[in-house]
Every structure is written in structure tokens, then in C-alpha cells.
Amino acid sequence: MIEALLKGTSAWKYWVILSTRTQEDMAYRANYMVGALFRFLPLLTTIYLWYAVFNSPGYAWSGRMGKMTLPDIVSYYAIMFVARGFSSMPGMTRDISLDIKDGLLNRYLIRPISYFWYQTMYRLAHKLIFWLAALITFPPVFYLIREYLKHSPTVLEWVGFFISLIIAFWTGVLFSFLIGCLAFWFLEISTFLFVIMTMEFFLSGHLIPLNLMPSAIVHYVQWLPFAYEGYWPCMILIGKVQPDQMGTVLGIGFLWVGIFFVLVKLCWKWGTQRYSAVGG
């Protein structure tokens, strides 16, 4: 049905890219299922670690660290796997930089397609297969840790969560594309990549919830675009975002997506003007 609607339109070629890449990835669906399941193994270590922290003399009497309880922490890290499944774009930055550096970008520039949308459809296909596998492997894991999932999200929180996942996806795509485009100006971006991705991993709240950081810092870092790749989706679903704050949180997220779209467009325009097309 989708093919019938899109055929003959400018979006048809991107549907073909998405469909073709999805079929290719389906050949490795077992790998996706195993990967989706085993990515939860670090969660066991996380649960034991935070259990020890909350049972230490400093926190045992109150059962809280800041505004977070042990069930909040475990729920947060479990949901983080879901959020990062949308926002992480493994290999995207490296592929873009290599296409530029090695002259392989030539084969896309001579075709009537947008390189940005090609990369987006390519990554979206990966996400579709991953989440097809995750629908089978994730529920048993969440069932096993059900005693920690104390909060029952409201309809508003579920809606806000799904919207935040859309923001997370676009933030991940746009930021990865933007960093990959640095190859237009720098021959080797591996150092940039290491520093920026390490910073992104920390500021997304993947390592620790951002609200456990000193108050003078969290006031700023929670509104950076990286927080929308993990921190805010988790906080929404565990009930730490008040209904009157939901609009502000999501609105700022969409603002960052808009800013990144403009930056990507400008970076691509300026970058292709200096692209030497060596190699290929």
C-alpha cells in the first residue's frame, strides 16, 4: 500500500533504499536478536552496583539519592537501552567521513538523490530490524526486573515518551551527520570522533542520570541536545517530568532538531563547495 502511494513521487526512491536495506538486514535477523538480548547484560552489573550504593550507610536510611530511589535508577537504566536504540547511529559518522575522504561521495553526488536522506533511510532500516528483534527479546528482560518498575506511566507520559523517541532519533541522525561532515575540512577526524562521542555518551545521561550531577551543572547540561538522546525519554517514562513541564521539555527538543537541520544544510552546502572529489 505504501509503495502504491509513493510510486511516481520524489519519495519513491528513498522508499526503495529503505526497503532494499531492510531486506538485506533481514538476512542477519538472528544477529540482531542476539545483540538486542545481550546488550542487557550490563544491566545486571548496574543493578548490583546501585543496590550496593543504596544499601551503604550514607543512603540506607533514606532510600534516596537526590530525587531518585533504587527502583527509579533501575527503571532509568532499563529504559535507557530503549532510548539509545533510537538515538545511537553506529558507524554513521565513520562511513560519511570515509566517503568524503576517499572520494566515494562522487557516486552519490552524480545521482538524483539526497545524500543526507540516503544515510537516514540506511540507518532507519537498521533500526526497523533491530526493533523487530527487540519486540521479542526485550519483554522477557523487563518482566524479570518488574519488581523495580514501580511507576505506572500515564497516557500523557506515554505520548511524551514516544514523541521524545522521535526527537532522540533525529538528534542522533543529525548530530552524527554533522560530525561526519567535518571530513570536508579535516583529513582525519578520528580524534574529533573519540572526544565528541565520549562527551555525547556522558552528556546523554547514559553513564549516570544527569539529575545526580551537581545542581550548578545539571541546570545547563539537561537542556543540551545530548540529553534528548537518552536522559529525557527515561525521565518522562519514570514519572520525573511534571505534566506542566512536558511541553517545555519536548518543545526545546524540537528546537534543537530544527537547529541541527539548519546546521546540516549549511555544513553540507559549504562542504561540497570545497570538496575535491579525490579518489572514488
Q: What is the pLDDT of residues 34-52, one digit of tens each?
A: 666 666 677 777 777 888 8
In angstroms, the CA 8 to CA 278 distance is 34
Nearest to 182 by CA among 171, 195, 169: 195
Q: Tell me which residue of 125, 164, 180 sits closest to 246, measured CA to CA.
A: 164
> 68 pairs with which residues across the strands?
65
Residues 120-177: pLDDT tens digits? 988 888 888 777 777 777 787 788 888 888 888 899 999 999 999 999 999 999 999 9
| Better-predicted residue by pLDDT, 275 or 249 | 249
Alpha carbon distance 210, 196 (integer Å): 18
Predicted pLDDT of residue 276: 76
- 260 has a pLDDT exceeding 90: yes
